[in-house]
Amino acid sequence: MEKNEAKILIDKLRVELTYHNHKYYVLAQPEIADYDYDMKMKELQKLEADYPEFYDANSPSLRVGSDRNEEFLQVKHKYDMLSLSNTYNEEELRDFDKRVQKLLNDTTTYVCELKFDGTAIGLTYENGNFVRGVTRGDGVFGDDVSANVRTIKSIPLTLSGNDYPSEFEIRGEIFLPHKVFEQINKQKIAEGDAPMANPRNAAAGTLKMQNSSLVAKRGLDCYLYYMLGENLPSDSHYENLQLAKKWGFKISEHAKKADNIDKVIEYIEYWDKERRNLPYDIDGIVIKVDSLSLQKQLGFTSKSPRWAISYKFKAERVSTKLLSVDYQVGRTGAITPVANLEPVFLAGTTVKRASLHNADQIELLGLKINDQVYVEKGGEIIPKIVGVDEALRDASAQDINYITECPECGTSLVRVEGEAKHYCPNEFGCPPQIKGKIQHFISRKAMNIDGLGEETIDLLFSKGLIKDIAGLYDLKKEQLTPLERMGEKSAENIIKGIEASKNVPFEKVLYALGIRFVGETVAKKLASAFGSLEKLKNATFEELVDVEEIGDRIAQSVIQYFQSEVGKDLVEKLTQIGLQFEMAEDNIPKSNILEGKSFVISGVFEKYSRDELKDLINNNGGKNTGSLSAKTDFLLAGDKMGPAKLEKAQKLGLKIISEDEFLEMIG
């Protein structure tokens, strides 16, 4: 066969097989027999082998995956992949609707969608071709699982039509249908392996397999539900999904528009019953404002969009016996009582333990040992005790006496006024707290040191090889290789990972220190506001609380940490080791024209979003603060600003400026 003839036939077979994939896996309307499909596939594979110069990464022949074993690359999301805020009752749903109407000063149309119970994915397409598939990760960075995504036959690798944007991202949920999950477990049991717990965990685990040829055999599926990009065809989220269906994406036929919150509630009530007849799991309903321009106007909180909410269905409940209570010590010293239960099957898994949260919760529930208790999965994930069947209580029931000393180090427990939990105050001397701090330090969202898991940290600590997080940087390969289940290659990778962590940016290092109340978002705010650890260490209480979202409790905790002898000593060691304790150059403010000036932003703006305006303030040396006070220099006011905020600003005599006036200030 001539080369040009081979190219024509290869292209023809690729188009045919892509078409039949879509008919079978997306539309469930197969047009040809499996045998005929297989023959076409074999013909294509032979031609591609004979003419390798016509290789195409998006060929349908490559959906079988590869047996190469590679670690996943970390990719920064072009658009942060935030999770949704949840609600479990109608009242909170109506409150969401009121907030939306108040912010928009108008009613709006919603789109109701099934909340698929799987693992989130973001797919990028350029010129109609699949480019990349990235997991949620921490919302800012995710794993590039493109090789595994290519094996999922309901995800198109090349799009149909020609009216799609030149570049866009579409997000969805990868899941395992019930039938596929049952087949996998049937096979596992036949082979003597333990069955998988539930379809959600199985889907997430499968997507993270390093061997994409194994992923291909698992039968993952995917529904897509949200499109992002600069030039989307419609301002309507719903209309964009209908267009995406034409391009080849698997879009749920159950998505529906709702003109008001009553229609939303009707939809929820229908699917709360009907969900049991679906061939896959859903755990709730997602409600989104339909208009993309209104979504942009509503914006985001630090954790979730203001234009969407997730309604979670009520959890399944079972009854079992409370056998005993253990007490766990967390990395912050918080004591968590854990109930040991008579094993019971609940929402796809066998439950033996459940969190009791704190002493107040035990008292509120009126729990006794040997009680018959009701157990639910909070958000259908974490088991928790929600009540007692007092009618079944007998003479064997015993009071639960909450402990007064740390079960690990014997230190007397404390309880800060206004807080629910008891704490072990021996922060730097209690083994679980020390190990917890080290595990937090190496975690993915912090220093991201590969190869060091919980068991390895336990082993290193018990052998006396590390006593705190600074001790990680003194480890030698020769100390690791003799350890149990530790080969030379593993030891080498750990040492490389520890060395590479010296390049982790300042905001992640600050989060990794494990200062109480300083989570990811707070660490970013503090790093951005002060620019270096040296300035943060010397910050006054007033300077700290002046930073947006930093309250009294956080400020006090930061000061206590840097004033403690152990905190000072640890930071000094880590500075000598060479960790990044200053913001990188590209994150440092671009000018100091706003230095010493603080701003509160309120309302809706024409030229920039609120987040973009905050970045402009930071990049020009100013500070964003969350609430108005006498120390605020400017209220940057947009349209539809709340009258209460305006009135307070006027009472305080603050300077109120428009978007244009602000832009003039920074030139």
Domains of the chain listed by start with CATH number: 3-64 (1.10.287.610), 86-312 (3.30.470.30), 317-397 (2.40.50.140), 431-503 (1.10.150.20), 506-587 (1.10.150.20), 598-665 (3.40.50.10190)
Contacts of 535 (CB under 8 A, 6+ apart): none
In this structure, of 326-330, 376-380, 413-417, the range with the lowest mean pLDDT score is: 376-380
Closest by Cα among 259, 261, 310 to 285: 310
Q: Based on the number of CB atoms within 10 Å of its own CB, is 177 exposed (0-12), middle (13-18) or buried (19 or more)?
A: middle
Q: Is the pLDDT of residue 211 over 90?
A: no
Closest by Cα among 373, 328, 327, 329 to 351: 373
pLDDT band at 411 (very low <50, low <70, confident <90, very high): very high
Alpha carbon distance 532, 506 (integer Å): 8
pLDDT band at 63 (very low <50, low <70, confident <90, very high): low
Predicted pLDDT of residue 588: 55
Q: Is the pLDDT of residue 177 over 50?
A: yes
Which residues have a catalytic role annotated? Answer: 115
Predicted pLDDT of residue 102: 92
Predicted pLDDT of residue 28: 57
- Overall average pLDDT of the 334-358 stretch: 88
Predicted pLDDT of residue 26: 63
Residue 310 has phi, psi (to 5 degrees) of -110, 125
What are the tens digits of pLDDT across the range 515-552?
A: 988 988 899 889 988 989 999 999 999 999 888 778 89
Alpha carbon distance 154, 167 (integer Å): 20
Provide, rounded to the nearest whole percent, the portion of the chain with pLDDT above 90: 55
Alpha carbon distance 656, 647 (integer Å): 11
What are the tens digits of pLDDT across the range 252-308?
A: 999 999 999 999 999 999 999 899 899 999 989 999 999 999 999 999 876 789 999
Structure tokens at 255: 């998505």
- Overall average pLDDT of the 605-610 stretch: 83
Torsion angle of C-alpha atoms 172, 177, 178, 182, degrees rounded to 10: -130
- Overall average pLDDT of the 29-36 stretch: 70
Strand order in the sheet with 110-116: 86-87, 308-312, 282-289, 110-116, 256-258
Provide, rounded to the nearest whole percent, the portion of the chain with pLDDT above 70: 94
Predicted pLDDT of residue 587: 54
Predicted pLDDT of residue 380: 47
Contacts of 333 (CB under 8 A, 6+ apart): 423, 424, 425, 426, 427, 430, 433
Predicted pLDDT of residue 363: 92
In this structure, of 6-15, 332-341, 375-384, 458-467, the range with the lowest mean pLDDT score is: 375-384
Report which listed range, 84-93, 495-504, 596-605, is most confident: 495-504
Closest by Cα among 262, 385, 254 to 318: 385
Closest by Cα among 389, 352, 350, 386 to 372: 389
Q: What angle do CA 11, 15, 17 make, to 5 degrees?
A: 115
Predicted pLDDT of residue 589: 53
Q: Which helix (H) or strand (E) holds 536?
A: helix 533-537
Residue 390: how many other CB atoms lie within 10 Å: 11
Closest by Cα among 190, 163, 179, 181 to 247: 163
DSSP 103: H
pLDDT band at 468 (very low <50, low <70, confident <90, very high): very high
Predicted pLDDT of residue 67: 38
Predicted pLDDT of residue 66: 47
Are residues 558 and 544 in contact, defined by beta-carbon separation less than 8 angstroms?
yes
Predicted pLDDT of residue 170: 98
Predicted pLDDT of residue 420: 85
pLDDT band at 71 (very low <50, low <70, confident <90, very high): low
Alpha carbon distance 327, 226 (integer Å): 43
- Overall average pLDDT of the 12-16 stretch: 89
Which alpha helices (DSSP H) does 417-532 contain, by range?
431-442, 454-462, 477-480, 488-500, 506-512, 520-530
Residue 466: how many other CB atoms lie within 10 Å: 20
Stronger pLDDT, 451 or 429, i.e. the higher one? 429
Q: Mean pLDDT for the chain?
A: 88
Q: Is the pLDDT of residue 379 over 70?
A: no
**pTM greater than the 0.75 cutoff:** no
In this structure, of 74-88, 240-254, 288-302, the range with the lowest mean pLDDT score is: 74-88
Predicted pLDDT of residue 87: 87
Predicted pLDDT of residue 585: 64
Q: Is the pLDDT of residue 494 over 90?
A: yes
In this structure, of 2-16, 473-487, 491-505, 604-618, the range with the lowest mean pLDDT score is: 604-618
User: b or e along 71-105 (b: 16 or more beta carbons within 10 Å of the residue's beta carbon)?
Assistant: ebeebebeeebbebeebbeeeebeebbeebeebbe
